[in-house]
Amino acid sequence: MLEYKLYKNKASGSETIVLLHGLGGNYGIFCHQIGIYKKHYHVLAINLPGHGNSPLTSSSDNPFTAEGIAGEILSLLDELKISKAHLVGISLGSVAVHHLLQQAPDRVQSAVLGGAITRFNPLASFLLLAGNAVKAFIPYMWLYKLFAYVMMPKSNHARSRKLFIREAMKMKRSDFLAWYGLAFHVKATYVEVQEKSENIPKLYISGEQDHLFVKPLLEDINSDRQATHLLLDCGHVCNVEKPKEFNAASMAFFNKHRIEKSISSAL
């Protein structure tokens, strides 16, 4: 089972926000969100496979796939008797959210996607392919650090860049490479999400300086008619770089789409 922390809200009937980090991170990247969220919601913070003390990507007899990741998250929700939840995904965690929207849209009340990735721009695609060509011959941290500096090059990105590099050093090489392989399926995943979760509220929060991903994202979600919130002077890991702004936008969104509110409106 995936490693997790569940923060209970004292109010009976509180809904649950599920937190999903990106590659090389862990649920600690949500340290500025958990305290705010748990005032009004239960908060379930998850370490994805190959991160923290969660099972390794190779621990199952089945191939490591994004569908399998979503299945593990759903199994944990079943174990904790959470029938429906609000989701927060950061970076590649947004791709995990997209797979949950694809596989089990009935389990998702709403979704906030920070630093979301729907497809890669030409530079990101080149780096991904180049890295794939040499990944068997060089230390995986060389690749990770290269991507970290290319994705988060500015001085105001330093905090999130250092955080992710530090935490990624705790990963096993095999886990990093397994996640790396999933990046090639990002675009196909988003296309299917558009078809299967049209009626689920989604909020995409990105930094205006997220130069590898924000332009393709804005083009894609414009056709999807979903809400966007751009943070000024902010890079890829927007919940770390601009926590107050991220918290304000995401909390307003969750409160607007509470399950209890939806039921009251229907009545």
Averaged pLDDT, 180-203: 84
Pairing between β-strand 108-114 and β-strand 227-231 as defined by DSSP bridges: unpaired
3-state secondary structure of 92: helix
Check residue 257 and give left, alpha or beta (phi > 0: left; psi -120 to 50: alpha): alpha
Identify the pLDDT of residue 197: 78
Token pair for residue 146?
């290269």
Other Cβ atoms closer than 10 A to 102: 20
Which uninterrupted H or E stretch holds 229? strand 227-231
What are the b/e assignments for 49-73, b being 16+ CB within 10 Å? bbbbebbebeeeeeebbbeebbbbb
In this prediction, residue 4 has a pLDDT band, given cuts at 50, 70 and 90, of: very high
**Judging by beta carbons within 10 Å of its beta carbon (0-12, 13-18, 19+), is residue 228 exposed, middle or buried?**
middle
Token pair for residue 49?
């496979």
Give me the count of residues in the chain: 267
Identify the pLDDT of residue 264: 43
| pLDDT tens-digit map of 125-174 | 999 999 999 998 999 999 999 999 999 999 999 999 999 999 999 999 99
Helix (DSSP H) and strand (DSSP E) numbers for the chain: 12, 7
The closest alpha carbon to 34, from 25, 45, 26, belongs to 45
Token pair for residue 91?
């970076």
Averaged pLDDT, 25-49: 96
Average pLDDT score over the chain: 91
Other Cβ atoms closer than 10 A to 119: 17
Averaged pLDDT, 203-213: 96
Asked if residue 239 lies in contact with residue 207, where contact means CB atoms within 8 angstroms, the answer is: no
Quick one: DSSP state of residue 225? T
| pLDDT tens-digit map of 216-259 | 999 988 876 678 999 999 999 999 999 999 999 999 999 999 97
| pLDDT tens-digit map of 84-118 | 999 999 999 999 999 999 999 999 999 999 999 99
Token pair for residue 162?
């250092």
Domains of the chain by start residue, with CATH: 4-266 (3.40.50.1820)
Pairing between β-strand 42-46 and β-strand 4-7 as defined by DSSP bridges: antiparallel
Asked if residue 120 lies in contact with residue 140, where contact means CB atoms within 8 angstroms, the answer is: no
The closest alpha carbon to 87, from 118, 47, 48, 45, belongs to 45
Averaged pLDDT, 65-92: 96
Alpha carbons 110 and 256: distance in angstroms, whole number: 10
